[in-house]
Structure 1
Amino acid sequence: MLLQTVTPVSVLGTTVLLALFLSLTAHVAARNVLGDVDPRRALYVGPLPAVISVVGNAFELPAALILLAALLVDGTMFWWSYEEPRRVVAGITLIHAVVTTLLAGVLILVSVLLASMPG
C-alpha cells in the first residue's frame, strides 16, 4: 500500500487545477448556450465550486451535500458572471455539469489506460 502525505502544497495544487478545469468546462458550457463569449468570465465560475469540493471532502461531508452546494454556487457564479436570466443560467449550469462529468470521465479512462501500458 502506498502511503500518501497531504501537504498544504498538494491541497493548493489540487484546488487550483480543479478550478482551472472547472473554468475550462464553464467556458465550453457558456459558449454552447450563449455563443461567442469572453473566456475570462469563465475564470470567475471555477474557483468557488473547486474550493467547496476540496473543503467538503476534507471534512468528509456527504457527497450529495457537496454536489448540491457546488451546483448552487456554480449557478450563482454563472448568473453573476454572465448576467443572464435564471432560466438560461440553469441551462448553462446543467450543461456545465454534463460537460465536466464527461470530460473528467474521459481523462480518468485515459489515465487508467496509460497506467496499464506494458513495459
Structure 2
Amino acid sequence: MTLQVVPMQAVTPISVLGTTLVFAAFLSITAHLAARNVLGDVDPRRALYIGPLPAVIGVVGGAFAVTEALLVPLALLVDGVMFAWSYDQPRRAVAVMTAIHAVITTLLGIIVLGIVVLVASMPG
C-alpha cells in the first residue's frame, strides 16, 4: 500500500469542518460507550459535549504539524476535563472513563481504518 499525498487544492474550509465534525461524532460515540462501561445507563446527550474539543485539538494540531507527544496528552487532559464536567463524577471514575475512552477510540479507529483500506483496495 502506498501513501497518497492530497494536493493542497483539495483542502477547503468545508472539508476541514466536515473532518472535524465526523471526528467529533466518532469521539462522542466512543465517549458514550466508555461512560456506559463505567456508570451504567447514562444519557447519551451528555457524550455530545465530550467529542468536539478533542476533535478540534486533533485537527488543528495536525494542520499545524504539532508533535503527537504534545497533542495526545493535551487531548487526554481535555477529554478528562470534559468527562468531569459532563458527568459530574469523582476523579477516579473520570480517570477510568478517560482511559476506557482512549482504548475504545483506538480499537474502533483501527477497525474502521482497516475496513476503509480493504474497501478501497477492492478490485473492480
> Do these two structures clear the TM 0.5 threshold for a shared fold by scoring above it?
yes
Letter in 2 for 1:117: M
Query: 2:7 aligns to what?
Result: 3
Pick aligned residue for 2:48 from 19, 40, 43? 43
TM-score by length of 2: 0.93
Q: Secondary structure at the match of 1:67?
A: helix
Code of the residue aligned with 2:15 in structure 1: it is: S
For residues 1-34 of structure 1, the C-alpha deviation after alignment (integer angstroms, 9 at most, x for no partner) is: 6535211000100000000000000000000110
Alignment of 1:1-119 (within 5 A): 3-4=7-8, 5-119=10-124
The unaligned stretches of length 5 or more in structure 1 are none
Identity among equivalent pairs (%): 66
Ranges of 4+ aligned residues in structure 1 off by more than 3 Å: none
Q: Could you list the runs of 5+ residues in structure 2 that have no partner in the other structure? A: none
Give the aligned residue type for 1:54: V
Size of the alignment, in residue pairs? 119
Equivalent AA in structure 2 for residue 95 of structure 1? I
